[in-house]
Structure 1
Amino acid sequence: MHYFILALLGMLLPLFAGLVQANVEKTIFLAPPAATIPSEEPDFDDLGLERLSPQSSVVRTQLNASFPTAEAPEGTDSWFFLENLTPGQRYEVRVCWLATQPTAFTLTTHPLAATIEDSTFLSSLSVYATARLAALDARLQANSIPRRASGRSSKDGIDPAPTTDSILFLRVRAAADYFSTDEALMRDVPPVTVDLILDPFLWNLFPRSLVPTAGWIVAVAVVAAVVARWVVGEFGRVIEDARQERDVQGDKKER
């Protein structure tokens, strides 16, 4: 029995391993209807934003963070581009980062038209894109290969930009969430290494990436139910044996 308990704990512990390795923040949204990108709009590929799509759903990158201020109460802005979404489908975007880098993240999604029409969003996006393009290294940023003309094929090494697509901008704000006696850390917040994950929901109810975890839970629940039934049966057998032995001892005394 002791060996079985140890084995059961061995199956359960991997389910909680992620809780001690990293923190997670997320936002859940419905993909908007497909929209046609007008030709007179600025070329969004030239912004150099990293892209997330169902075909390329994970990006590992570093995000700048800062301590909250009156002008930026939720820290430093970073922007990403969500594309090739299925209209009406539920998605979530998660940001995962090491617990050794205490940071408070805020994730929001914004439609194309709302981003262009809102001067605050557009200004933040422009500032981020300008800084990113200035520091962009194509060898390290393969996910942000610019797509120029929809008429080009993938043979040119350039992903053709769709003229009609379900797209969103993702805004990630990162605020440092620590206090240190190290003056350098308090003065200059180091970049935070993160994984950004785009996860579609199955039937708009359940994140697809959690299917293996759900399978583990179901398997453990089935095993636990079988073991519990066996334990109850064994207890019942022991109690019945003890009762019969007591009755036998009682009969012997009466004789």
Structure 2
Amino acid sequence: MLILSILLYTCFLAAPAIANVEKTIFTAPESIAFGDARPNLLDLHLVSLSPKKLAIRTALPVVFPTEEYPRGLSSWYLLGGLRPGQRYEVRICWAATQPTDFLLESFKVTDVFDSPALLQDLSIYAEERQISLLGEDLTGSSEPTAVKQSALFLRIQSVASFYTTNKELMQYPPPVDVDIILDPYLLNVFPQSLLPTAAYIILLAVASWFLSGFAWAKLQLFVQEKQHSD
């Protein structure tokens, strides 16, 4: 009876979710000295994700694909404080009521600085971000130091993927509310965030095994009593 109560209570806790997820998986590179990087990463004021801050909630601007923005608008983030050689994934989650296509890419810091196209894209985003943050507190922005650490740039490109007869929405699609999550892999095999789900499945399997044994024993007892009565 106790096991049955636990199962029923767990079912009541379950709730449906309607959302979309896109992700990229990568292995953290070797550590580098941020103090030697140019332009200075601190001046970029990028929002950062790290083992101390695994998730952020924000709104990303989107556009419909054009020749100038075939993959949409770019948003840049810094993934810092990583463990070299460890596997990670970054997920972006958004409501299905906001149809959007996202492309997530991770780049080594040196690769971005060595690529004129990537560096220009990053610089444009950083300049626009600094203008939008004038007079605001930059808490949450990246704060790299000269100490060596493993880090990557994350670029998220977002394209609106809906159609409406509303001309204003077609010309100015609204920003999309998203959650961006950094998820380290345990032993480079299993995402850390899935531990509660794995524990739930194991608990459910064990409880089901005991419950099925209890039901089978009751069924056998009923059959035996039925045979004796006949």
What TM-score do you get using the length of structure 2 for normalisation? 0.89
2:207 to 201, 214, 223: 223
Describe the superposition over 1:186-218 as per-residue Cα deviations: whole angstroms up to 9, x where unpaired: 110111111111111111111112212221221
In structure 1, distance between residues paired with 2:139 and 2:37 = 27
Distance apart, 1:4 and its partner CA: 4.0
Q: Looking at CA atoms only, which structure, 1 or 2, has the larger radius of gyration?
A: 1
- Unaligned regions of 5+ residues in structure 2, if any? none
Distance apart, 1:180 and its partner CA: 1.7
On the 8 A contact 2:34/2:41 being kept in 1, the answer is: no
Distance apart, 1:129 and its partner CA: 0.9
Instruction: Determine whether 1:166 maps to 2:154.
Output: no
| Aligned positions of 1:47-86 closer than 5 A | 47-86=44-83
Cα distance, 1:74–1:9 mapped onto 2, change above 3 Å: farther
The aligned counterpart of 2:162 is 178
In structure 1, distance between residues paired with 2:117 and 2:77 = 16
The aligned counterpart of 1:39 is 36
- Tell me which moved more, 130-139 or 86-95: 130-139
Distance apart, 1:31 and its partner CA: 0.3
| Aligned positions of 1:1-150 closer than 5 A | 4=4, 8=7, 10-12=9-11, 14=13, 17=16, 19-20=17-18, 22-37=19-34, 39=36, 41-136=38-133, 139=136, 141-144=138-141, 147=143
In structure 1, distance between residues paired with 2:146 and 2:162 = 42
- Tell me which moved more, 82-91 or 228-237: 228-237
The structure that is strand-richer by fraction is 2
In structure 2, distance between residues paired with 1:206 and 1:14 = 24
On the 8 A contact 2:108/2:152 being kept in 1, the answer is: yes
* One-letter amino acid matched to 1:83: G
On the 8 A contact 1:15/1:213 being kept in 2, the answer is: no
Instruction: Determine whether 1:204 maps to 2:201.
Output: no
Provide the aligned C-alpha RMSD in A: 2.3
* One-letter amino acid matched to 2:30: P
Aligned residues: 229
Distance apart, 1:8 and its partner CA: 2.9
The aligned counterpart of 1:189 is 173
On the 8 A contact 2:45/2:138 being kept in 1, the answer is: no
Distance apart, 1:9 and its partner CA: 5.0
Describe the superposition over 1:214-236 as per-residue Cα deviations: whole angstroms up to 9, x where unpaired: 21221111111111111222222
* One-letter amino acid matched to 1:52: L
Distance apart, 1:143 and its partner CA: 0.5
Q: Secondary structure at the match of 1:66?
A: coil
Cα distance, 1:166–1:15 mapped onto 2, change above 3 Å: farther
- Tell me which moved more, 130-139 or 105-114: 130-139
Q: Secondary structure at the match of 1:204?
A: coil
On the 8 A contact 1:110/1:168 being kept in 2, the answer is: yes
- Tell me which moved more, 67-76 or 224-233: 67-76
What TM-score do you get using the length of structure 1 for normalisation? 0.81
